[in-house]
Structure 1
Amino acid sequence: MPQYIQFIFLLTSIFTSTSSSPSSSPKNLTLIGSAHFANNSIILTQEITACSSRSYSLNGRILHSYPIRFFNSSSNATVSFSTRFTFKITPPPPPCIPGDGIAFLIASDPNSLPHSSGYMGLPDSPISDPFFAIELDTSFNPGLGDINDNHLGLDVNSIVSVASIDLTSQGVYLKSGKRITVWIEYRDPEKIIRVWIGYMDSKPEHSVLSLPIDISKILREFMYVGFSASNGRGSSIHSIEKIQFHTFESLTPNLQMETRSSRSCLICYPEDPVVEDYEITLYHDHHKDNRVLELAFGLLFLTGFLIIISSLIIVYCICLNKRRTLRQRFRDHPQMYRFQETEIPKKIKLADIRSATKGFDQNRIIGQGASSIVYEAYLPSCGNVAVKRFCKVNQSISLGNQFATELATMVGCLRHKNLVQLHGWCSEGNELVLVYEYMSNGSLDKILHKRSNNRPLTFEKRLNILLGISSALVYLHEECERQIIHRDVKTCNIMLDADFNAKLGDFGLAEVYERSARKRDATLPAGTMGYLAPEYVFSGVPTVKTDVYSFGVVVLEVASGQRPVNEDGVVVTDWMWDLWEKKILIAGADPKLMGRYDKVDMERMLMAGLICVHPNHQVRPTMKEAGRMLRGGMVPELPIRKPMVMIQSVMPERSSEMVARFGDDESETPWSTPRTHFSRSS
């Protein structure tokens, strides 16, 4: 019984079926590097007009967003697969030379593929992660064993092909600019791979390549499927118009592996009916004629699904209405709901706080900032606590009860395992005090940068800390009832409990302080220099992406052990961009770790930090995406060097639009990111 997974893209209908925007893309397709949608095709590489003085472009890749199962560990069986795709290579006019070509690719780890241009985007040296490719090579490189500049090759874990076919003798010219279709079939029971190629839509009678080979040895349980192309030193337009892919389990000898099917397609061929979404289907050939039965089961499943969804929506609405009713009853009759008092921060008398801190004894100080001092104390109603005493309050700002009440209402009702819990507050006279839960290991800043630290944090603990803070920020940005932007994410505000689990503090403080102000002469950013996003420095307007930038600085600080700005004035973000440009990013790892980490995991952490501190806020990920990267997900392609961002005037009569500008010339830049020790123009 064949099981197949199929994803089909007909780019003629992309803009009508998904969106009218030219940048729209199917949700199961990931575009990397220079790949983009244009002219009803996937353009992997763009033609470079000034080829004589061009700078090398990035590779272009498309990958199915989710890995596909190639090996079933329970049955110890490898699947067979087949694919069909249509492509076109448009060469440049003389004197420019053509690019490298296109390759069909199956890879275990997309992050292991090279970032530099050349070799169709395939590794030019052996790597630990296996890959399989069918290359359509338009570049003649004798050092790699190429037979000419118009051949088809089969690659296994190396750019040097194990078999090559001269396509000129087959009447196929890859650089003709014509549409060419390729069929690839691998039958695991027979351990043989076959390839057909031609200008027609129908598969030729004879294959151009039939090779006995056992590729099950390099196929892992899950692999990524896609295409890769590059121009190298040349300049061609490499485009793909149609793609189909199937896998088969328990393949029978007589089963035809023709990949043209109307079932389970994401965007179908013109002659195939359109199915609205991607699916995985099990089917028998003898069921093809029994369409009525299939339709009946489909309608039955759809009806059941709609009933379940409707029931969930009704239950949700009932629970939401009940929650609102209970809140209103609590406001009207608080004496009837005393059980909720433990969940709401209490107002504590200043006399009790003075007694618990021994009159704010200096020996009880466990932390000190620009605007507050933190004391360790014990309150009978709360146990061990951290008492945050603010400095003398500016009388032009109406803090007092207004500030404390609003903070207690907003912050105190938030519940998350990675947020420092607010137990109580006090506002008497000029004194403003907040009482938090006590964190025995103090702040991450002190642990990370302790000079006499003989036992530094392990890589595993650092990763767990970052995952905890990312989870807390996802909660503040997306999951709590009212969105909260932290504005001051830094290691000083990250507290550690006895097991080194991280909790984020001071959330919502800047927002409530700003709203409590009676009037403000200017918009000033709240936060700490070194952690502030460039657009926030210039505009003073916080967004979730400014929190993402600060989190990215924390990631780089935790991974490298370096402060955001060290004593020599070196900025950690610029230092990391410089290492990335030199292709030695791993050199940024904290030397205190003494190499006790997985290099792939460490490099992924550093790359995740860099994408979070991208100068262009539109390129930065969300906190949920950043957390997914740290857990082992794919990191988007990074530019080869730190981009520069032009920021226009933020005066009220002008637009605050930001335009990403990649380049080195800053002579005409009216507003740009602050120059630092590692800025190219400095």
Structure 2
Amino acid sequence: MFLFPARNIKENQALQLSDNEDQFGEDDKKDIDVPFFELESIVGATDNFSKAYKLGEGGFGPVYKGMFPGGVEIAVKRLSSNSGQGLKEFKNEVVLIAKLQHRNLVRLLGYCIKGKEKILLYEYMPNKSLDALIFDSNRSMLLNWAARFDIIIGVARGLLYLHQDSRLRIIHRDMKASNILLDDEMNLKISDFGLARIVGRRDTESSTTRVIGTYGYMAPEYALEGQFSVKSDAFSFGVVVLEIVSGKKNTGFFDPQLALSLLGYTWNLWKEKKPLALLDETLVGSCNDSEVVKCITVGLLCVQEDPNDRPDMSKVVFMLNGETETLPNPKQPAFITRNRFEGTTSSSNKLETQSNNEITFSVEDGR
């Protein structure tokens, strides 16, 4: 293992690169309040990106645990060359997240660019990502209903901050279970801002000709037309809520004849007035039924096909903190059956739509 003097990371000059190796321009640098690390220090902290240090792998590349001077633990996100996140997206994530401060957003501690390497250093979250818990039959028991309800509310508040309360108006565009990290006390942090976009303070939507996202979480207007907004984030949030309640992935199918997605499965239970049948079996008999029904209702309201029908995150937070009886009835969700993007196997596959947008998908891998 490559060792450094045991002193605070920010004070250790050996960890800093000279300016001529940093590919950020001066305009970018003045907006960044996190240090730039030399690659050698990160290689040493991860034992040359050893498999023993690997925490998992998402659509943009592997994440490692790093041990820095003084016993400081850091999560090291190493972007893969074929991840679809280039220098522009990398800079976007560094500049954006350096400006954000909220208890439910992960803290960026540093970054590195050298040659083809693009690396982000985050605060270390011992319990990894949400998907590593809720989709694991054994580890899911670590999250009782109270913890899951707190996570749902925390994600809603984090998104509300991005959409409305931060000094920027930010649309995340990649809200999913693997981008929700948990600390040692199961407090959540939203992560991965590589795809996030800033919109004007008075704007709530925008468009793109290059659609990048994760199959199963993308709103229909974004996946098919490149239109993204606070309501497309709300759609992704709705999917996450239903996954947290059920312990099942939206990309799984629950009826081999009908090929239902989780959204379709939930919708059928709702129409049959059996919403509690969606509940993760590890929670049965140990949760607040009215809170469960409230979360299912909010989840279904968020995944309605028409973005105008979906609540914004301020309404979501209000509903989650209110009474179930006050909630409206949801309309049929989008993508209730096996959708046209099923079968995508990498983050670089491209599909052509009628608008000739470029679409890049990533498939979920637990961290």
Q: Same fold (TM over 0.5)?
A: yes
Between the aligned partners of 1:491 and 1:622, the Cα distance in structure 2 is 19
After superposition, the C-alpha distances for 1:20-71 in whole angstroms (9 at most, x for unaligned) are: xxxxxxxxxxxxxxxxxxxxxxxxxxxxxxxxxxxxxxxxxxxxxxxxxxxx
Does the CA-based 8 Å contact 1:563-1:572 persist in structure 2? yes
Does the CA-based 8 Å contact 1:440-1:496 persist in structure 2? yes
Between the aligned partners of 2:74 and 2:334, the Cα distance in structure 1 is 45
Determine if the alignment matches structure 1 residue 626 to structure 2 residue 312.
no
Q: Post-superposition shift, 1:344?
A: 1.4
2:281 is matched with which residue? 591
SS of the residue aligned with 2:227?
A: coil
Between the aligned partners of 2:169 and 2:238, the Cα distance in structure 1 is 20
Alignment of 1:239-638 (within 5 A): 344-380=33-69, 383-392=72-81, 399=87, 404-453=90-139, 455-507=141-193, 509-511=194-196, 523-566=209-252, 570-633=260-323, 635-638=326-329
Q: Post-superposition shift, 1:452?
A: 2.5
Structure with greater helix share of residues: 2
Between the aligned partners of 1:471 and 1:428, the Cα distance in structure 2 is 36
Q: TM-score, normalised by structure 1?
A: 0.41
After superposition, the C-alpha distances for 1:57-95 in whole angstroms (9 at most, x for unaligned) are: xxxxxxxxxxxxxxxxxxxxxxxxxxxxxxxxxxxxxxx
Evaluate the alpha carbon distance shift between residue 491 and residue 454 of structure 1 in structure 2; reply closer, same or farther with a 3 A threshold.
closer
- Amino acid of the structure 1 residue aligned with 2:283: L
Evaluate the alpha carbon distance shift between residue 621 and residue 374 of structure 1 in structure 2; reply closer, same or farther with a 3 A threshold.
same
Evaluate the alpha carbon distance shift between residue 450 and residue 523 of structure 1 in structure 2; reply closer, same or farther with a 3 A threshold.
same
SS of the residue aligned with 1:629?
A: helix
Q: Post-superposition shift, 1:582?
A: 1.0
Q: TM-score, normalised by structure 2?
A: 0.75
Between the aligned partners of 2:297 and 2:138, the Cα distance in structure 1 is 29
Between the aligned partners of 1:632 and 1:446, the Cα distance in structure 2 is 30
Between the aligned partners of 1:633 and 1:626, the Cα distance in structure 2 is 12
Aligned length: 300
Does the CA-based 8 Å contact 1:407-1:512 persist in structure 2? no
- Amino acid of the structure 1 residue aligned with 2:69: P
Name structure 1 gaps, 5 residues minimum.
1-330, 335-339, 514-521, 653-682
Between the aligned partners of 1:557 and 1:408, the Cα distance in structure 2 is 29
After superposition, the C-alpha distances for 1:188-243 in whole angstroms (9 at most, x for unaligned) are: xxxxxxxxxxxxxxxxxxxxxxxxxxxxxxxxxxxxxxxxxxxxxxxxxxxxxxxx
Does the CA-based 8 Å contact 2:261-2:335 persist in structure 1? no
Does the CA-based 8 Å contact 2:219-2:232 persist in structure 1? yes
Q: Post-superposition shift, 1:475?
A: 0.8
- Amino acid of the structure 1 residue aligned with 2:241: V
Q: Post-superposition shift, 1:354?
A: 0.4
2:345 is matched with which residue? none
Between the aligned partners of 1:453 and 1:353, the Cα distance in structure 2 is 30
Evaluate the alpha carbon distance shift between residue 474 and residue 552 of structure 1 in structure 2; reply closer, same or farther with a 3 A threshold.
same
Between the aligned partners of 1:528 and 1:397, the Cα distance in structure 2 is 13
Name structure 2 gaps, 5 residues minimum.
1-25, 199-207, 337-352, 357-367
Between the aligned partners of 2:333 and 2:96, the Cα distance in structure 1 is 38
Evaluate the alpha carbon distance shift between residue 381 and residue 410 of structure 1 in structure 2; reply closer, same or farther with a 3 A threshold.
farther
Q: Post-superposition shift, 1:424?
A: 0.5
Between the aligned partners of 1:563 and 1:397, the Cα distance in structure 2 is 24
Between the aligned partners of 1:361 and 1:598, the Cα distance in structure 2 is 43
Alignment of 1:151-162 (within 5 A): none
Using the aligned pairs only, state the percent identity. Answer: 33
Q: Post-superposition shift, 1:371?
A: 2.4
Q: Post-superposition shift, 1:481?
A: 1.7
Evaluate the alpha carbon distance shift between residue 403 and residue 445 of structure 1 in structure 2; reply closer, same or farther with a 3 A threshold.
closer
SS of the residue aligned with 2:308?
A: coil
- Amino acid of the structure 2 residue aligned with 1:414: L
Q: Post-superposition shift, 1:382?
A: 8.8
Evaluate the alpha carbon distance shift between residue 651 and residue 526 of structure 1 in structure 2; reply closer, same or farther with a 3 A threshold.
closer
Structure with greater strand share of residues: 1
Q: Post-superposition shift, 1:511?
A: 3.7
Between the aligned partners of 2:117 and 2:225, the Cα distance in structure 1 is 32
Does the CA-based 8 Å contact 1:393-1:431 persist in structure 2? no
After superposition, the C-alpha distances for 1:623-682 in whole angstroms (9 at most, x for unaligned) are: 11112211224553215755899xxx9749xxxxxxxxxxxxxxxxxxxxxxxxxxxxxx
Q: Mark the structure with the bigger radius of gyration.
A: 1
Q: Which of 1 and 2 has higher RCO (CA within 8 Å, sep 6+)?
A: 2
1:127 is matched with which residue? none
Between the aligned partners of 1:494 and 1:557, the Cα distance in structure 2 is 12
Q: Post-superposition shift, 1:409?
A: 2.5
